[in-house]
Structures are given as structure tokens and as C-alpha cells.
Amino acid sequence: MALSFEVRRRGAGQVTLILCGELDQDTASSFHQALAAALTELPCELLLDLSMVTAIGAGGIGMLLAVRRAADLLRCRVALRAASAAVRRKMRVLGLADDLTHLPPQQC
């Protein structure tokens, strides 16, 4: 399955990247394209909405951790918003549940 994305800018310096589909090695180029779109304005906060991510592989977890490391260098806060059960389970199994900030779904 492919990975699609939407970028939403909100307020000063906050960007939400909404991902939909599978996040793994096969969708890495789509993920990098999504990140490039989200980071064009160098936000101070990047929220990764993973509520519609249906599956995540080791490559996808690695990409999330790489984003956090890169954002740290740019002094940009990164957080996962509404991570799907599949994402939370995989991160918990790998012992990475505390490596990224997890936020609840955004209220409208």
C-alpha cells in the first residue's frame, strides 16, 4: 500500500504532517517527500499525525527516529499525534515508546 500525506500549517511555526497508509522501507521516498513539504518553512514544532497509518515496519520506525534527531539539530520539537494502535504497539514492542512524545488526537 502506498503512503499519502497532507501538510497543515497552523499558527506561527507549527506544522502538522498527516500520514495515511503504510510507513516502511518501500514508502521511504514518499515519507521524505512529505517531510520536505512540511519543513519548507522551518517550523519550531512538527506534529506527525499517524492516526491513519495502518502498518509500520522497522524502516518506518527508523525514519521517525531520524526525523526526531534531525529536528533536535534544528531546535524543532517533534511529536506524534494520535498514533494508531499499530504504531503504538510496534514502538512498545521495540522499547521505543518513550523516544518520541505522544499527543492525544486534536480536538476540533
Q: Is residue 87 part of a domain?
A: yes
Domain CATH for 26: 3.30.750.24
Cell numbers given for 80: 506524534
Its domain, for residue 82, covers 3-103
Mean pLDDT, the chain, whole residue set:
83
pLDDT tier, 107 (very low <50, low <70, confident <90, very high otherwise): very low
Q: For residue 82, give every residue at least 6 positions away whose Cβ sits within 8 Å of its Cβ, in sequence order, or none.
A: 49, 50, 51, 103, 104, 105, 106
pTM as predicted:
0.81
How does pLDDT run across 42-65, given as a tens digit for each residue? 788 899 999 899 988 888 888 888
Q: Is residue 108 part of a domain?
A: no
The pLDDT assigned to 91 comes to 84
The tally of CA atoms less than 13 A away on the side-chain side of residue 101 is 14
Q: Domain total for the chain?
A: 1
How does pLDDT run across 70-97, given as a tens digit for each residue? 888 888 888 888 888 888 888 888 887 7
